[in-house]
């Protein structure tokens, strides 16, 4: 039973990070039907910003938890600025182009950002300070749930609840839902669609940055390439849950995290990815729109 | 009928284009040969390996070693009056880039190459060199089959191979550390898996310790806590890891987080200062096998001193092996009197040379005679020799 709980929580914390990143994919897809391949890079930039902030604040002698809080806030702002700019440069001019064009431009953006960080920072792995301390009250549960996991899970939970409330109850949230349903109609009733799209990129990038800082503080190292695999996994999670659906992204992330964790624990880590992708294929066979995706009739 | 005609015309036109295309290539090749032909007063030494990317710390010391040796030899008048020139090719340790690098070196008519750095990349590039009769010498590719299965007579190396490295690690775990339950983990790559398999074989044959777990992990994974939990559940008292430093430092950090404090023994992919830098305090106490270093060897001392003078830092991974490779290749060309393939190969197998890894020549399979592995441990942020 303890072994099961260990795997359950390690899957849950990994899944929460996948979910945080997947939210960005799914929100952007929901609104402009674009797979934003540069999203993983935004996650990576978030982690790098966190590292820089942590470095500066540590030398000023701040306590770790406040460094973590400030680090997350700064990297959210910084990554959001990146997300906003990427949208303005790479996607907005192509808004009415055929759908392949922004897709290629997204891949280009991803490669550009990766190489930019590699040149501007370093190609080496960098140590990331352990910003999540071990709380004393966690000691009895240490064997299956450490403070890092607890932190990742609870932060993700708070962020996701806040996002849901935002989308459900604010003006901007309503405008987002309207734009996702029908962009033209939303425009006709006076929604500023450009603003909504920018906001989507800003929020999505901010979420990715939270994930980036959390996982970097947990794992303890980063380099320019971490966004690729994390982005790929999160994209899988978004598709699994039904791309375009926000609860779907969260569910997809968790299901993916658990699948990987249990496959490693009970079968073999050799087959971690095999199980994850078999599950994806199975779900897409029986529910082509993903777990919580809406089955929509294609307009022909 | 009309459309069929159109298709035929198109088909012919395309075939024609292909022919024209081929013709053009021939021309370019001819031009390239003409361009390099008159420049016979220099000897080009190719250096291929990871010079950028996340494994650059393995490959850059090799490039610098080659530069140092070339500078030394050029100062003494070169090899038979030919000035040695270095041509660097980056493969980032990726097989697909390694074949590009090899093709480029071959098309530039380079006859001797130091490289590649990683086993997977070397394996991918070797067939290209073999067809072009290029002599390749790696300072670091330890995959057993590269020399031992005999398919690449053009390949040499100045480092020992995984079969022996895995055995050395297994022997160390059993005889010195006296541990009984071993979890063997690898990164599924040519190098890591090779090391892990040979270690497992040695452990199984020795019968003194039990392999409680043998598994591969996905390199670049977001985290490895699940596999760490599994190691813990298996009750292992030692983790033997085959792979490179990025994964090793993640695993060590997560082992400590999950309260798993058992010995961590790894390979020369982890015996790199970058590992200590990224793993930080978690690196303390980690064991790694690495090529034997002869600290009191005169050539080694001189090479390291030259390096520090030229680059102002400690030489990194595989520096002595790379220095030895550059010396051995250039010496063989010198003794052979030309860059003729057969003569140079014969010279490599016959002529002894004093290098930082000892006085070496190469056996029939291409392995340097007399080089082996030692075990090192991280003590206060530095690798120190154990035993």
Size of interface A-B (CB pairs under 8 A): 108
Contact in structure between A248 and A293 (CB atoms under 8 Å) = yes
H or E stretch covering B138: strand B135-138
Give the model confidence (pLDDT) of B138-176 as tens digits.
Answer: 999 988 888 988 889 999 999 988 888 999 999 999 999
Give the model confidence (pLDDT) of B304-315 as tens digits.
Answer: 999 999 998 888
Domain B163-267 of CATH type 3.40.50.300: no
CA A216 to chain B, closest CA, distance in angstroms equals: 9
Task: Using pLDDT thresholds of 50, 70 and 90, give the confidence band for residue A191.
Answer: very high
Contact A218 B249 (CB under 8 A): no
pLDDT at residue B23 above 90?
no
Cα dihedral: B129, B132, B136, B140 (round 10): 0
Return the structure tokens found at B112: 């001797």
Contact A221 B249 (CB under 8 A): yes
Whether B246 and chain A come into contact, CB under 8 Å, resolves to yes
Long-range own/partner contacts, residues A166-172 (CB < 8 A, 24 or more apart) = A166/A203, A167/A246, A172/A196, A172/A199
pLDDT at position A135, please?
A: 78
Whether A126 and chain B come into contact, CB under 8 Å, resolves to yes
pLDDT at position B223, please?
A: 83
pLDDT at residue A109 above 90?
yes
Give the model confidence (pLDDT) of A223-257 as tens digits.
Answer: 898 999 899 999 999 999 998 888 999 999 999 99
pLDDT at position B80, please?
A: 87
Of A123, A146, A261, the CB nearest to B54: A123
> From CA B90, how far away is CA B101, in angstroms rounded?
7
pLDDT at residue B64 above 90?
yes
Task: Using pLDDT thresholds of 50, 70 and 90, give the confidence band for residue A144.
Answer: confident
B330 by Cβ neighbours in 10 Å (0-12 / 13-18 / 19+) ranks as buried
Set of chain B residues whose Cβ sits within 8 Å of the Cβ of A218: 223
Whether A41 and chain B come into contact, CB under 8 Å, resolves to no
Return the structure tokens found at A263: 């496959």
Set of chain B residues whose Cβ sits within 8 Å of the Cβ of A40: none
Which of A 56-95 lie inside 8 A of B, CB atoms?
A: none
pLDDT mean over B18-46: 51
Q: Is the dihedral of CA B279, B162, B192, B116 positive or negative?
A: positive
* Cα nearest neighbour of B226 on chain A: A261
pLDDT at residue A151 above 50?
yes
Set of chain A residues whose Cβ sits within 8 Å of the Cβ of B242: none
Write the CB contacts of A300 (distance below 8 Å, at least 6 apart in sequence). Answer: none
Contact B250 A219 (CB under 8 A): yes
Give the model confidence (pLDDT) of B288-305 as tens digits.
Answer: 998 887 777 888 888 999
In B136-281, alpha helices (H): 145-148, 162-171, 190-206, 225-233, 245-257, 273-279
CA B183 to chain A, closest CA, distance in angstroms equals: 13
Question: Which carries the bigger pLDDT value, residue B202 or residue B7?
Answer: B202
CB atoms within 10 A of CB B371: 22
pLDDT mean over B56-69: 91
Give the model confidence (pLDDT) of A50-90 as tens digits.
Answer: 999 999 999 998 898 899 999 999 999 999 999 999 999 99
Set of chain B residues whose Cβ sits within 8 Å of the Cβ of A270: 188, 215-216
Of A143, A229, A265, the CB nearest to B226: A265
3-state helix, strand, coil in chain A (%, to 5): 80, 0, 20
Contact in structure between B64 and B315 (CB atoms under 8 Å) = yes
CB atoms within 10 A of CB B237: 16
pLDDT at position B18, please?
A: 43
Write the CB contacts of A274 (distance below 8 Å, at least 6 apart in sequence). Answer: A263
pLDDT at position B27, please?
A: 40
Taking the domains of chain A in order of start, what are their residue ranges? 2-286
Task: Using pLDDT thresholds of 50, 70 and 90, give the confidence band for residue B17.
Answer: very low
Fold of B42-159+295-372: Rossmann fold (3.40.50)
CB atoms within 10 A of CB A63: 10
Contact A14 B225 (CB under 8 A): yes
pLDDT mean over B233-259: 91
* Cα nearest neighbour of A148 on chain B: B257
Phi and psi (nearest 5°) for A87?
-65, -45
Q: Where in chain B is the domain with CATH 3.40.50.2300?
A: 42-159+295-372, 163-267
Contact B233 A126 (CB under 8 A): no
A185 by Cβ neighbours in 10 Å (0-12 / 13-18 / 19+) ranks as exposed
* Cα nearest neighbour of B186 on chain A: A270
Contact in structure between B264 and B252 (CB atoms under 8 Å) = yes
Contact B258 A143 (CB under 8 A): yes
pLDDT at residue B3 above 70?
no
Contact B222 A13 (CB under 8 A): no
pLDDT at position B15, please?
A: 45
pLDDT at residue B16 above 80?
no
pLDDT at position A298, please?
A: 56
CB atoms within 10 A of CB B337: 12
> From CA A9, how far away is CA B137, in angstroms rounded?
48
Whether A119 and chain B come into contact, CB under 8 Å, resolves to no
Give the model confidence (pLDDT) of A18-47 as tens digits.
Answer: 999 999 999 999 898 899 999 999 999 999
CATH architecture of A2-286: Orthogonal Bundle (1.10)
Contact in structure between B162 and B144 (CB atoms under 8 Å) = yes
Contact in structure between A71 and A53 (CB atoms under 8 Å) = yes
Set of chain B residues whose Cβ sits within 8 Å of the Cβ of A269: 215-218, 226-227, 230
* Cα nearest neighbour of A124 on chain B: B54
CA B276 to chain A, closest CA, distance in angstroms equals: 10
Set of chain B residues whose Cβ sits within 8 Å of the Cβ of A10: 223, 225-226, 229
pLDDT at position B4, please?
A: 54
pLDDT at position B280, please?
A: 87
Nearest to A17 by CA among A289, A261, A278: A261
pLDDT at residue B236 above 50?
yes
* Cα nearest neighbour of B279 on chain A: A127
Write the CB contacts of A232 (distance below 8 Å, at least 6 apart in sequence). Answer: A40
Question: Which carries the bigger pLDDT value, residue B372 or residue A11?
Answer: A11
Set of chain B residues whose Cβ sits within 8 Å of the Cβ of A264: 226-227, 230
């Amino acid at each position: 039973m303890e072994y099961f709980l260990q795997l359950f929580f390690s899957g849950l914390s990994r899944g929460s990070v996948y979910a945080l990143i997947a939210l960005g994919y799914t929100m952007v897809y929901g609104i402009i039907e674009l797979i934003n391949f540069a999203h993983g890079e935004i996650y990576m930039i978030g982690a790098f910003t966190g590292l820089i902030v942590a470095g500066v604040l540590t030398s000023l002698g701040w306590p770790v938890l406040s460094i973590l809080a400030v680090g997350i806030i700064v990297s959210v702002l910084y990554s959001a600025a990146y997300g906003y700019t990427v949208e303005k440069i790479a996607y907005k001019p192509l808004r009415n182009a055929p759908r392949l064009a922004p897709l290629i431009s997204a891949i280009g953006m991803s490669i550009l950002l990766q190489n930019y960080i590699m040149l501007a920072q370093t190609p080496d792995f960098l140590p990331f300070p352990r910003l999540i301390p071990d709380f004393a009250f966690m000691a009895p549960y240490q064997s299956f749930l450490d403070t890092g996991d607890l932190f990742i899970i609870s932060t993700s939970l708070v962020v996701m609840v806040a996002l849901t409330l935002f989308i459900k109850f604010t003006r901007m949230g309503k405008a987002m839902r309207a734009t996702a349903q029908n962009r033209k109609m939303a425009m006709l009733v006076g929604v500023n669609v450009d603003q909504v799209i920018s906001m989507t990129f800003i929020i999505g990038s901010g979420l990715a940055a939270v994930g980036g800082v959390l996982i970097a503080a947990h794992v303890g190292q980063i380099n320019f390439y971490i966004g690729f695999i994390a982005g790929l996994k999160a994209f899988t999670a978004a598709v699994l849950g039904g791309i375009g659906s926000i609860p779907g992204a969260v569910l997809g992330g968790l299901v993916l995290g658990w699948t990987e964790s249990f496959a490693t624990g009970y079968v073999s880590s050799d087959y971690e990815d095999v199980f994850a992708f078999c599950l994806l294929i199975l779900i897409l066979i029986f529910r082509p729109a993903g777990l919580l995706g809406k089955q929509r009739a294609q307009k022909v | 009928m009309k459309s069929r005609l159109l298709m035929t015309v198109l088909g012919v036109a395309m075939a024609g284009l292909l022919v024209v295309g081929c013709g053009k290539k021939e021309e370019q090749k001819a031009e390239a040969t003409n361009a390099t032909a008159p420049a016979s007063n220099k000897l080009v030494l190719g250096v291929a390996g990871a010079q950028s990317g996340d494994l650059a710390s393995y490959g850059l010391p090799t490039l610098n070693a080659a530069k140092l040796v070339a500078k030394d030899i050029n100062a003494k008048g070169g090899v038979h009056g030919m000035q040695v020139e270095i041509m660097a090719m980056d493969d980032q340790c990726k097989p697909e880039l390694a074949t590009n690098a090899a093709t480029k070196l071959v098309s530039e008519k380079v006859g001797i190459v130091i490289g590649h750095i990683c086993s997977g990349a070397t394996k991918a590039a070797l067939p290209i060199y073999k067809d072009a009769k290029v002599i390749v010498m790696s300072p670091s590719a330890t995959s057993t089959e590269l020399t031992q299965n005999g398919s690449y007579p053009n390949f040499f190396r100045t480092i020992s191979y995984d079969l022996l490295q895995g055995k050395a690690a297994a022997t160390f775990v059993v005889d010195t550390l006296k541990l009984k339950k071993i979890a063997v983990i690898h990164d599924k790559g040519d190098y890591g898996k090779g090391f892990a398999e040979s270690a497992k074989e040695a452990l199984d044959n020795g019968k003194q310790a039990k392999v409680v777990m043998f598994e591969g992990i996905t390199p670049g994974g977001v985290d490895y806590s699940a596999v760490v939990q599994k190691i813990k559940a298996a009750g292992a008292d030692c983790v033997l890891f085959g792979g490179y430093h990025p994964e090793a430092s993640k695993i060590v950090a997560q082992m400590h987080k999950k309260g798993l404090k058992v010995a961590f023994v790894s390979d020369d992919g982890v015996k790199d200062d970058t590992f200590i830098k990224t793993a930080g305090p978690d690196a303390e106490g980690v064991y790694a096998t690495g090529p034997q270093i002869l600290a009191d060897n005169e050539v080694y001392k001189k090479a390291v001193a030259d390096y520090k003078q030229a680059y102002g830092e400690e030489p990194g991974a595989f520096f002595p092996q790379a220095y030895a490779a550059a010396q051995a290749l250039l010496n063989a060309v010198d003794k052979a009197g030309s860059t003729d393939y057969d003569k140079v190969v014969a010279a490599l197998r016959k002529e002894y040379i004093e290098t930082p890894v000892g006085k070496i020549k190469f056996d029939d399979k291409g392995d340097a005679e007399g080089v082996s592995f030692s075990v090192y441990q991280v003590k206060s942020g530095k690798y120190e020799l154990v035993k």
